[in-house]
Structure formats: C-alpha cells, structure tokens
Structure 1
Amino acid sequence: MQTTYDWITTPITADLLRGALDVEHTEHGVLPHRLPARARAQCTDPQLAGAESQPSGVRLAFRTRATAVELDTLPTKRVYVGAPPRPDGVYDLLVDGRAAGRASVTGGNTVTVDMAAGTTELRPGPVGALRFTGLPEGDKNVEIWLPHNETTELVALRTDAPVEPAPPSGRKVWLHHGSSISHGSDAASPTTTWPALAASLGDVDLINLGLSGSALLDPFTARTLRDTPADLISVKIGINLVNTDLMRLRAFTSAVHGFLDTVREGHATTPLLVVSPILCPMHEDTPGPSAIDFTSLGDGRPQFHAMGDPAERADGKLALGVIRDELNRIVAQRSAEDPNLHYLDGRDLYGESDSAELPLPDQLHPDAATHLRIGERFAELAFAEGGVFGVRGV
C-alpha cells in the first residue's frame, strides 16, 4: 500500500468551489459563504452568521488524474453545555458523481454554547487534515462535499497529480432556500441532506440557501435569490416564522408577496416553487415560539415544545396550518398572472403517516432516515416527468 506521495499543492480559489456565493480570505485560507458580503452586512444575528458560514451544499469540484487527495481545513465545532459532544463534521468524496469515500477532521476551533445563559465562547484550535487514497486511475471529476453543519475554512489542497476546475456540468441549476431542515439538520452527511439527495436524483446542480433558524423572509435573502443565476428556484417558508414568533398574519402576507416580488425581479419566468412546512405536530395548531427543554440535554435527546396557545391564532399568531392556508391562497392568486409559480404542500413530503413511522426525534427536526424520505419525495414531485420542474424521469 502506497504511503508516500509526490504532493502538488493547488491554491484554493473560487473557481474550485460549487454552491458558495462568496469566498472570504482569512489568515488561514478561504472561508466559503452562502450569503454575499452585502447581505451579511445587513444582519448581525449570530444565528444567521453561523448558519450561512456552514457550507451546506458547498463542494470542491475539480478534474484530475490524481489517485490521492489531501485537504487541510480549520473547522469550527459547536459544543452545548450540558449535552453530549456532537460528532465531527463529515466530508463526502464523489468521483464522477459516485460516492467514493467519507472522512472527518479532528481539532479545529470550538464554540461553547450555553443555551440557558445565552452565551457563547470561542476557543481557537489547530488545523486538521483528511486524506482520500485509492482513487481510480485516469481523468475524472472529483467533488469533496464539505460538512453541512460545521463552519469550514479551507487551508490547503494537495494531490499527487495536477488539478483544474471541473468543467461545466451542463445540468440545470436548482437554487433552494429554507430553514434548518433544508440546511440539513440531523442528516448523516452533506450528500444526504434532503436537498442534496433530491438534486442527485433530479440530476441538477444544487445551490442550497437552507439557513438554520433563518428562513425569515428577510429582504436581503430575497435579493440574494434574485441575483443568483438559476434555472429552477424553490423557497420553503414557514417553520422559522412560527418557532421565532416573528410576525403576525397581516405582516406575513405582505412579506411573502414582497419576497416573491423581489425574486421575480431577477427571475421573471423561472419555474418558482413555494413549499409550505412539513408536518410538525407540536406547531400544527399551536403558535410559537418554540423553546428547548434544558432538562433533556443531558441524555443527548433534546426536546422542543411549543410555547403558544391555539387561541392566539384569532389574534393573528402563526401556526403551521395558518401558514399553509395562506401560502396556498397567495400562490393561487399570483399564479393567475404567473404561470411558472407553483405550490407544494410540505405534508406531501412528510405527513401524518410518515410522522407515525418516523417521528421527529426532538419534535422539530427530521433525522437522517427522514431526510432520505423527504429528498426522494421531492425528487418525485418536482423533478420527475410531470413535476413542476420536470427535469428528468426519477
């Protein structure tokens, strides 16, 4: 077994990345971002900053004859006070579109989060490395999907043969925005988040703007969607507006119209799919906010619960049922003049029977098996022949 290699170091530049909308140069290397700098400057929310810097859907993509690849990274890991350690982030290797390896990087920075006190503390750590060997001989397209849930600075790329940026795939580009569920929540790896799986099944290139806790109809997010080239667009709206208790029905209706108006300024006729929330029993009829039960952290099974009162819907507070009805109405109204605008009920992706079989472990987020089911369902409903995107038979 070969253990030494004649390494070639290739600078990591934006043309080696897919799925990132901006690249920040740091003292260590480069940090991919999923929101552009102008959008980031308009919101100082730490939740958003952490979410958009976690590279869900972002991958290194290059063509090479190399049979060995090394990547140095500086991950930023999160530790929650009172909870068991979270597993290290996962890197997925694809060769010519097929799974070919999986690895993690130890070390890195650590952010300790005390949810009860509302504090965070950053402890710097060392750069780590991963290595993939035994790649097939000859020219091939290589992708390294970065951890969907771990901020990742890219420090150095080494191979045993030269690399060049991957050529254009010729596939349509699917731009998707949503909450932590779209971000990846508890998926097993970056290629098995439901959007990544759906993109693979649909044979499209994914740009994932799933932003954990931050699908809040922000104007800067709408402008990002407007300004990003794409052939297909979907926006999944609802759960974060409930669990943050951010707005009432009156504001929600106009905010959805404004969000869609902005997207349409840059994509006048692009197929645009509005997706309502998947089933979440605790918030179907009960408004937010959501709160975590801190006593559940110690056993590694955190639980969320709804803090609202169903009676508050009469005053315009949002529950998921209210949101679905209003999104359906808005899309029906707008689609009379916008035939490329479509609606998908999120319960078609995960509904009552799915909840009985695969309940949400923390009452809010799907687990790895449920991500696979949602991804397969979305591919069937959106990308298959006869679906709203109709890219291919799935």
Structure 2
Amino acid sequence: MTYHFSRPDGRVTILGALDLERTPAGVRPRRLPAWTRPRLNDGWMDLVVSHTAGVRLRLRTAARSLALGVHVTVPVMPEGRLPASFDLVVDGTVLARVPATAGDVLTLAADLADARLAPGPAETVRFDELPAGEKDVEIWLPHGATVELRTLDSDAPLLAPTPPPGVAWVHYGSSISHGLEAPAPTLTWPAVAALTAGAALTNLGFAGNAVLDPEVARAIRDTPAGLVTLKAGINIVGEASMRERTFVPAVHGFLDTIREGHPDTPVVLVSPTSFAELETTSGPVTPDPETGRKRALGSAGTGALTLTGVRTLLAKIVDVREDPALHYLDGRKLLGPDEAGSLPDGLHPDPAAHLRMGDRAARLLLGPHL
C-alpha cells in the first residue's frame, strides 16, 4: 500500500514543519512559512530552515513494516558530515534508527557561494518488525539535512492519525537548539525534552541565526501553541550584531508580535547557556585555527553585549513587561559553567550534554507549564 506525499489525503500528518515545498516528486518540509523566504534573503538561513529538525511524520497503523521513499541532501561542514538518520517512535518510545546512505552531498565552505553539490540517488528507508496491533507511529526526519518526502509503503492500511499528545510547544533558538552535535533527531535536547515530558514540539532552532528576525516572530504568532520558549542572545553576542540600545527593543518587539497571536499563552524567555569566552568579553567570535575552539575578539564602544549582560537585560525585560504569563529561565540551569568539559569547541554541547539538557528542560522549562 503506497501513500504519495504529492497527493496528501490526511492519513499522514507532517508535524514540526511550517511549510511544505512542492516538488515534482513530493514535498520538502521547511521550518518557516514560504512567505518568509524572500524576506529573510540569506543563504545560510535558507539552508538551516530546510533542515528538518523536529519534523516528523505521524500516522496510525497495524503495519509491521514501513518503507519511506526519500531524497536527502546532507551537508558536509569543514568539521565533517552532518548527522542524517531517521528515528522510529512507536507509542512515544524510540524503537529504531536508520541512517541515510544515499542522496545529494552538499560540501559547504565559509562562503556559501563556494559550496559544491554532488548529486546522488533517492533511497528507501525501511523499518521492519514493528510491534503487532494498531499503534501511533512517528518517523522523525534528520535534524541536519534537507529531506524530500516521496512515498510511504506499508503492509497494512494507514488509519486516521490521532492528534499528537501533550501541549503544542514552539521553541526558538540557535545552533544549540538546532542540535547538530547530537547524533540523531530524537537526541537533540529539545526532542529529548519533548519526548520525556510528552509535548508536541515545533523546533525553530536555526544554527547561527537566532537573531530575533521579525519574520520568525510572526511565524510563531501564527502557529498554534500552548507553550512558547525563546532562547535568545548567543548568536547576537557571538556576531556582535547588536548593542544594548538595539537588543532591548528588539526583544520587546519580538514578544509584542508573539502576543498578538498568543495573548495568554505561557512564554518563557531563556538566556544563553554558559560559554566562558563571551561571559564578560563581547563578540564577535572566531574559531581558533589551531584548536578549533571559539575565541572572543571583543568589541569596542558603549553598549557592547556580553552573555552576563544579556542575562541581566532579559530578566529585566520580563520584569518591566509585568506579564503574568511571561517567565524567565537562566540558561545556565540547562547547561552550566561546571560542564565546560562537555563543550568540544567551548560552546556547543556534546551528545551526552544534549541528553542532560533535555532532561533538565523537561523539568524546568516544560514541567511548570504542562
């Protein structure tokens, strides 16, 4: 029995995507609406929006075997190939993981114009020996790759899918939330938190691009949510792209836009996790050519931002707004200064740290609002 994504009929729900780009063979899930694409006008942002972090298929079936026809584009960074695997979740439990083995390979360079695309074939991702009986199935797509969905074959009918359990959680953040250091899509910290707490995740973690774009705020405004969390600051400090004068009103404006669509929804403003280089020194940051670790260069002038300063500003913003549904969480409660050994480049958490962050987020970020 073959389901064609080019001809959707409601038997398969695609969660975590805010756009489905039509292709001749199927659809490509994207994590922001199509209208944002020309307005953001940045190649790197366009790339990470196409990564299917937190995107998953949801269906109900008694099938014992599923075969997903896909065409994957996997980026290769200077540090190596990004992770690309498909995770099978049955009734809320991760049961299987299948790596992508074919598809296009996109070799990236510092200048995106120098990227090289090596075309590759489509492939079929198989999951066999599923539990007997009717069950809720989710297939989590690779969090560091672009995926074209073509077909889904099953050895039993696809039934009307049940709604995803738990509160609809929309999370915005940087590369740490995107989770490219995690080896699989259900092992990023937002995915771990969602699966642990029973929340329905939409992951708007965009590597290198959590810069308070108003288009993202509008997308969050227009997306159903029972909880919104905003992890803000690290990319802005790391790129030295704002000063205190511009950062504070940018955060207020971001929140104002979200409140237009979610006037009473709990919103948690989360400050950056620990990163020693930027705690008291401003950005920008650059990789050390010998060690690969991130190094702060510092900015001259009044109002240059540090992580310590950003935490103070975010807490003050929450106080000033006097919004009973707006909360503040110090990001160091998710990943603290005593865990620097879990940051290979000084900033990004390793796989074990993602698991710890996910467990803590389930308690501290989701728990109080579920």
Q: Does structure 1 residue 316 correspond to structure 2 residue 299? A: no
Partner of residue 167, structure 2: 172
Q: Return 5+ residue gaps in structure 2 as ranges.
A: none
Give % identity. 45
Partner of residue 14, structure 2: 17
Q: How far did residue 126 of structure 1 move?
A: 0.9
Partner of residue 229, structure 1: 224
Q: Do the aligned partners of 1:88 and 1:106 also contact (CA within 8 Å) in 2?
A: no
Please give the secondary structure, in 1, of the residue aligned with 2:182. coil
- Counting matched residue pairs gives 366
Choose the corresponding residue for 2:334, options 340, 349, 369.
Answer: 349
Partner of residue 299, structure 1: none
Partner of residue 370, structure 1: 353
Question: Which amino acid letter does the alignment assign opposite residue 72 of structure 1?
Answer: G
Partner of residue 28, structure 2: 31
Deviates more, 1:147-156 or 1:112-121: 112-121
Q: How far did residue 180 of structure 1 move?
A: 0.8
Q: Does structure 1 residue 264 correspond to structure 2 residue 254? A: no
Please give the secondary structure, in 1, of the residue aligned with 2:39. coil
Question: Which amino acid letter does the alignment assign opposite residue 20 of structure 2?
Answer: V
Q: Return 5+ residue gaps in structure 1 as ranges.
A: 1-7, 297-301
Would the alpha carbon gap of residues 87 and 216 (structure 1) be closer, same or farther in structure 2, given more than 3 Å must change? Answer: closer
Q: Do the aligned partners of 1:172 and 1:204 also contact (CA within 8 Å) in 2?
A: yes
Distance 1:256 1:286 in 2: 21
* CA RMSD after TM alignment: 1.7
Please give the secondary structure, in 2, of the residue aligned with 1:315. coil
Would the alpha carbon gap of residues 132 and 343 (structure 1) be closer, same or farther in structure 2, given more than 3 Å must change? Answer: same
Distance 2:245 2:252 in 1: 12
Choose the corresponding residue for 2:277, options 268, 273, 282.
Answer: 282
Q: How far did residue 362 of structure 1 move?
A: 1.0
Q: How far did residue 118 of structure 1 move?
A: 6.5
Distance 1:117 1:381 in 2: 38
For each residue in 1:165-221, what CA deviation from the matched residue of structure 2 results, as whole angstroms up to 9, or x when unmatched? 421134210111000111113112111111111111211111111111111010000
Q: Does structure 1 residue 157 correspond to structure 2 residue 142? A: no
Distance 2:125 2:268 in 1: 38
Distance 2:113 2:294 in 1: 16
Distance 1:179 1:165 in 2: 35
Question: Which amino acid letter does the alignment assign opposite residue 317 of structure 1?
Answer: A
Distance 1:88 1:72 in 2: 19
Question: Which amino acid letter does the alignment assign opposite residue 102 of structure 1?
Answer: R
Q: Does structure 1 residue 77 correspond to structure 2 residue 74? A: yes
Q: Do the aligned partners of 2:62 and 2:133 also contact (CA within 8 Å) in 1?
A: yes
Distance 1:26 1:308 in 2: 45
Distance 2:176 2:224 in 1: 23
Distance 2:112 2:356 in 1: 36
Q: Does structure 1 residue 379 correspond to structure 2 residue 362? A: yes
Distance 1:273 1:88 in 2: 29
Distance 1:282 1:124 in 2: 39
After TM superposition, the score normalised by the length of structure 2 is 0.95
After TM superposition, the score normalised by the length of structure 1 is 0.89
Distance 1:24 1:100 in 2: 29
Q: Do the aligned partners of 1:185 and 1:366 also contact (CA within 8 Å) in 2?
A: no
Q: Do the aligned partners of 1:282 and 1:305 also contact (CA within 8 Å) in 2?
A: yes
Distance 2:56 2:160 in 1: 12
Choose the corresponding residue for 1:328, options 315, 336, 346.
Answer: 315
Q: Do the aligned partners of 2:21 and 2:27 also contact (CA within 8 Å) in 1?
A: yes
Q: How far did residue 115 of structure 1 move?
A: 2.4
Distance 1:88 1:318 in 2: 32
Q: Do the aligned partners of 2:221 and 2:262 also contact (CA within 8 Å) in 1?
A: yes
Q: Do the aligned partners of 1:80 and 1:115 also contact (CA within 8 Å) in 2?
A: no
Choose the corresponding residue for 2:118, options 120, 123, 126.
Answer: 123
Would the alpha carbon gap of residues 31 and 135 (structure 1) be closer, same or farther in structure 2, given more than 3 Å must change? Answer: same
Partner of residue 3, structure 1: none
Q: How far did residue 295 of structure 1 move?
A: 4.8
Distance 1:318 1:11 in 2: 49
Q: Do the aligned partners of 2:76 and 2:82 also contact (CA within 8 Å) in 1?
A: no
Q: Does structure 1 residue 98 correspond to structure 2 residue 93? A: yes
Question: Which amino acid letter does the alignment assign opposite residue 132 of structure 1?
Answer: F
Q: Do the aligned partners of 1:270 and 1:340 also contact (CA within 8 Å) in 2?
A: yes
Partner of residue 307, structure 1: 297
1:51-66 equivalences in 2 (<5 Å): 51-66=48-63
1:112-151 equivalences in 2 (<5 Å): 112-115=107-110, 119-151=114-146
